[in-house]
Structure 1
C-alpha cells in the first residue's frame, strides 16, 4: 500500500478495494474476480491521472515533500557509478545534509553535490532533514573548486526546505557560507547542471543551484520561503500556507514561464514516489542532454553565460 496524501483519498479507496479483491481471489474459497479487479484498476489509473493533471500548488508541495519520493542518494545510486564521497569542509566539521563526491555519469567523470533529507527517522536525523549548516556549503565550495581544477563538470541535486537556521549555524556564518557557495557557482569554468528533485528552499537551494542549466522535476517546488513560514509572516497564521503557495508561483510550470527553470522533467503518473526508478531515469536523460549541450562551450563562455542567465532573471527588458 502507498503512503497516500490527503487529496489522494479517491485513489486510496479504489486501491483498497483492489487489494481486498486480490485477497479473496487468493484465499481458500477462491472466487474469480479478475474482471472486477481490472475494472477497478482502470478506474484507479484514470482517477490518478485526473488528480495529477490538475494539482494545485499546495498539492504539489505535498508531493514534493512525500516521504517516499526518491532522494539525493537514490539518484546517485542509480545514475552514478564509482561514486567516491568526500567529507569535511577543512574548517570545522563534516555536514551530513550535504552529500559531495566524484563519480561517473555515462562514463564521464562528474562532481556531485546534493542535499539528502533521509528516508526514515534515523537517516532524517543523521542528515538533519536536508538542512545544511555552514560547513555543508563550505564543503560544496571545496568540491566545486576541485572539479574546476581537474576540468570536471558539476551536477547538483537540490532538495531542502532551506539552510539550517540554528544558533550555532548563524554563529559560524551561515549567510556568508551561502554567499560564498553562490559565488563559487558563478565563477566556475566547467559545466554546472542543477536538478531540483523535491524542495528548492530559499538560499539553501540557490547556493548550489546557480547553474548553467536548471532542471526541475515536474512536481517539485522552488521558492524563496516555505509556504508555512510565508503565511506566518504575512498573515500571522501558518494555516494559510495553501493561499501563500498559490500566490508564490513556485511550481515547475510557473518557474519555466519566468525563465528561472530551463527544463521540466516529466514524472510518472502519480508522482516520482510511485515509480522512483522511472523518475530517476527520466532525470538522467535530461541531465545527459544538458551536459551534452554545454560540452562545446569554453570555460569563460560557461561562466559568462551563467552570470548573464541569473542577472537577466526579473529584469523588464
Structure 2
C-alpha cells in the first residue's frame, strides 16, 4: 500500500542549535557562534527535544553532555544537516553566476550551420558552464523535460514563450539535384509537383506535412507524394542530393549545396517566407545566470555579424 511521507512544518527548527551545542558542549559558546542569546539557544533545544520526544543533553551547572538519544540524533542529524547546507550553497552558486549544465533542445538541421559556432565561442567564454545539446525534431515541453531553452522555427513556438531571434526571416525552398531535374524536368507551377517524386516529412504528431507554398500572394498547402518519408530536414536534403526526388527545406541549410552546384532551386516564385529561427525559453523571472549568459552571448554574436 502506498504511504505518504511528509516533513512536518518546523521539523528542522532547532537542529542547527543542537549541532552547535553538541560541538561546543556549551550553550553560551553555541549562542555566540550563532549570534543569539543563551536563553534563546536553550529554548530552541528544549523545543527540539519536545518534538523528538527525548532528552538530548545532560545539563549541569558546569558542563553539557549528550544523552544516548542525543548521541544517536547527532550521528544522523549532523551529516544530513551538512548535506542541506551544501545543497543550499550549490543552489546559491547556480543562482549567482554562470555555472552548471545548460540544456538545449534543438532541431538537428540547425546544429552544424547555426549552433556549433555559437557553442564553441560560448564554451570558451564561460568554461564553468557545461552545454548539453539534445538534437531532435519533435517539440518538447521545456519545463517537464528539464531543458533551459530550445531553438525552433518561429511558427512552431508557443505564444507564451520569450524569444530571441537567431536568424532573419528566410524562404522554404524546393530543391533537386541536377541529375534528377535533367531526368524528370523542372516543375514550373505547384500543380506540376503531382508528376514528381517529393520527399516528405512526418511531424512529431504522426501527420505527414504538406508543402506550404505561396501562390499569387496567397498561402497554399500542397499534398505531395514520393518515395521517401523522414522525420528531419537533413535526411530529405541528403536524399535530394542523391537524386531521389525534390525536397522542400529551409534556405539556410541548403545554401552550401546550392553554391556547390549539388542542388538547384525550382518553383522560386512560389517559395513562402517563414519568420526565421529563434531561441526560446519560459519566463524572464526564472532565467538562471547560465541561460542569461547564453542569451547575452547570442545577442552579442548576432550584433557582430
Q: Bin the TM-score by the shorter chain.
A: under 0.3
Higher strand proportion (structure 1 or 2): 2
- The structure having more radius of gyration, on CA atoms, is 2
Higher helix proportion (structure 1 or 2): 1
TM-score, L = length of structure 2: 0.26
